[in-house]
Amino acid sequence: MTLTPRRPVFDANATGGAFGDLPDWDLSDLYAAPDAPELATDMSWLETHCAEFARDYEGKLADLDAAGMAECIARYEAIDEKAGRIMSYVGLRYYQNTGDVARVKQMADAQDKITGYTTPLVFFSLEFNRIEDAHYETVFADPRVSRYKPVFDRMRAMKPYQLSDELEKFLHDQSVVGAAAWNRLFDETTAALEFDVLGETLSLEATTTLLSDHDRARREAAAHALARVFKDNIRTFSRIHNTLAKEKDIEDRWRKMPTPQTGRHLSNDVEAEVVQALRDAVVAAYPRLSHRYYALKAKWLGLDTLQVWDRNAPLPTEAPREIQWDEAKSTVLDAYAGFDPRMAEIAQPFFEKGWIDAGVKPGKAPGAFAHPTVTSAHPYVMLNYLGKPRDVMTLAHELGHGVHQVLAAKQGEMLSSTPLTLAETASVFGEMLTFRKLLAGAKTKEERKTLLAGKVEDMINTVVRQIAFYDFECKLHAARAEGELTPEDINALWMSVQGESLGPAFEFMDGYETFWSYIPHFVHSPFYVYAYAFGDGLVNALYAAYEAEPQGFQDKYFAMLEAGGSLHHKALLAPFGLDATDPAFWDKGLSMIEGFIDELEAMED
């Protein structure tokens, strides 16, 4: 997700011609147009109802009985839905063309207004956390509100780190010129970057895509172009990271958070010990996974040493081809249907009703995402489709999110949102289903090898790479707490995790030390990245359970997705006989990657 004008590899018309009829979003299910009267009406409704909610409930939450609490929650959820609908609409329009001044202004204005309207609601979580435990337990034992208890249990987990009402309101108001403003600067900076690759001016998305090109010279040229532009902008990126890390350090200190990661763990409803066990298991497995695989890859490519532009290179035996949109669509839907027809039925409307924006277009944000919007509407998926095999897997990934979001929507606004640790489950499972279908259809040894190698690389990128990112973030925030970091300081922290994670097969070119600068997760969602590794390990264990006992698995899987954020990961995984708090759990997931590498090594004999 990102921002402003740039020239992609293909313009909108050329993209459609190259890969078929690529879909665009139809946002009319949210609002008919940016000047639709319903948008202004809803904004006015929100202002009124936020004020009325504060008037009716501030200072009174502790006295509510179950009936009163049920009404209070219903009103709070309605406000949440209205604000979510407005911000989803203006945000999605913005990501379609971040260089359109009118869209930028509309989103910024909406964000400012909604922040102002919702400031009176800051009391809600603060006052809620002051309810006496005995009264809280009594009220939420009542069936009229008991289903919401997981939401409020998570809210009350923040109780030890809560500030005064006045300070919390100040932080809420100040957010639009704090982290949100620096996020926008990062997005607009990255989206405006242009890269000269062999005489062609490309966007960030198009240039990073070239790192998986068949032509090694083009890959190398793209890597050097990235390094040049990142170096030219490194002071800006350094300032953004320094400021956001320091802002977080200050807030964490005021809240008495024990570590910079604590807030993320709390919001993810996951224990720090579980994340540490995941991190330690992956780091211990580096030699068995990434180091071993990249040694194999160097041999396949006929190289003594891999350069960074070889990391995602296709195998020499892999024939270059561009995959038409219709083929990508049928590949993913067929894989979903092979698992359970219900899964394909949920995914089908994304293609038919304008719920996907697929083409690369001027000003469009790079990357891909699935946004759930609100439970009274439906999710939207954004892609930048360039016809590569990895683009098909990205489609499978984001549609997995979409299916999950559709199923969880029945929980309502407050319970549908899944903690990040489980938010990647359906997306990674969707990728696994697509991969397994393709693998089953492989007709030759070389085709199977190509598919296996591609999957191993995806898994290394999802597990090894993301845990290395997590370690980098941990080091960055720890170092920033000691003082201002120069660009060279941040570069050194980045390189300290690269060799360890990728292994001795790699040589790192001058300039690679700046490649931390364009990764949006570090800016938008500190410590988010471990969720990818969590999701991959969890899905590997889930898929092993599916293979071991397929009978009834689909129903249990759908029930897990439908639960949204209503259950803790321990309860969600129990029906499958899995437990992420067991230190051995992560080795089960990692063993699947190791098994694929074993098979690739055996093919060399």
Residue written as token pair 């945000």: 91
State phi, psi for 319 to the nearest 5 degrees: -75, 130
How far apart are alpha carbons 420 and 268 in whole angstroms? 5
pLDDT higher than threshold 60 for residue 498: yes
**Measured between alpha carbons, how far is residue 37 from residues 25, 32, 113, 351, 374 in Å?**
21, 9, 17, 28, 19
Instruction: Identify the H or E element spanning 419.
Output: none
User: What is the 8-class DSSP label of residue 361?
Assistant: -
Q: Average of pLDDT values for 97-113?
A: 93
Instruction: Identify the H or E element spanning 185.
Output: helix 179-192
Residue 447's pLDDT is what? 87
Percent of the chain with pLDDT over 70: 97
User: What is the 8-class DSSP label of residue 201?
Assistant: E
> Does domain 233-320+419-605 correspond to CATH entry 1.10.3720.10?
no
User: What is the 8-class DSSP label of residue 479?
Assistant: H
Q: Average of pLDDT values for 331-357?
A: 97
State phi, psi for 508 to the nearest 5 degrees: -105, 120
Give the model confidence (pLDDT) of 201-214 as tens digits. Answer: 998 988 998 999 99
User: Could you tell me where the DSSP H helices lie in 340-419?
Assistant: 341-352, 389-408, 413-416
Of the pLDDT bands very low, low, confident and very high (cuts 50, 70, 90), residue 180 is confident
Arithmetic mean of pLDDT over the chain: 91
- Of the candidates 418, 387, 380, the one whose C-alpha atom is nearest the C-alpha of residue 321 is 387
How far apart are alpha carbons 325 and 465 in whole angstroms? 29
Domain residues of the chain, as ranges?
Answer: 12-179, 233-320+419-605
Residue 16's pLDDT is what? 45
Top CATH class, 12-179: mainly alpha
Give the model confidence (pLDDT) of 236-251 as tens digits. Answer: 999 999 999 999 999 9
Residue written as token pair 């899944």: 418
Q: Average of pLDDT values for 490-519?
A: 96
158 SS3 class: coil
Contacts of 460 (CB under 8 A, 6+ apart): 289, 290, 293, 593
Residue written as token pair 């292994």: 503
Residue 261's pLDDT is what? 95
Higher pLDDT, 452 or 389: 452
Q: Average of pLDDT values for 336-358?
A: 97
Give the model confidence (pLDDT) of 421-447 as tens digits. Answer: 788 899 999 999 999 998 888 888 888
User: Could you tell me where the DSSP H helices lie in 119-164?
Assistant: 123-128, 133-139, 149-156
Residue 46's pLDDT is what? 97
pLDDT higher than threshold 70 for residue 175: yes
Q: How far apart are the first and last CA of the chain?
A: 44
| Token output for 482 | 């000691």
- Cα angle value 36/38/43 (rounded, 5°): 110
Higher pLDDT, 278 or 420: 278
pLDDT higher than threshold 70 for residue 5: no
**Measured between alpha carbons, how far is residue 408 from residues 493, 565, 566 in Å?**
39, 8, 9
How far apart are alpha carbons 468 and 83 in whole angstroms? 36
Give the model confidence (pLDDT) of 295-320 as tens digits. Answer: 999 999 999 999 999 999 998 888 77
pLDDT higher than threshold 90 for residue 382: yes
Residue 17's pLDDT is what? 55
Of the pLDDT bands very low, low, confident and very high (cuts 50, 70, 90), residue 155 is confident
Q: Average of pLDDT values for 488-496?
A: 97
pLDDT higher than threshold 50 for residue 542: yes
**Measured between alpha carbons, how far is residue 125 from residues 61, 76, 128, 166, 187 in Å?**
10, 11, 5, 13, 30
Q: Average of pLDDT values for 406-417?
A: 94
Of the pLDDT bands very low, low, confident and very high (cuts 50, 70, 90), residue 605 is low
Of the pLDDT bands very low, low, confident and very high (cuts 50, 70, 90), residue 366 is confident
- Cα angle value 428/9/198 (rounded, 5°): 115
pLDDT higher than threshold 90 for residue 473: yes
Q: Average of pLDDT values for 376-391?
A: 92
The dihedral built from the CA positions of residue 30, 34, 38 and 42, taken in this order, carries a sign that is: positive
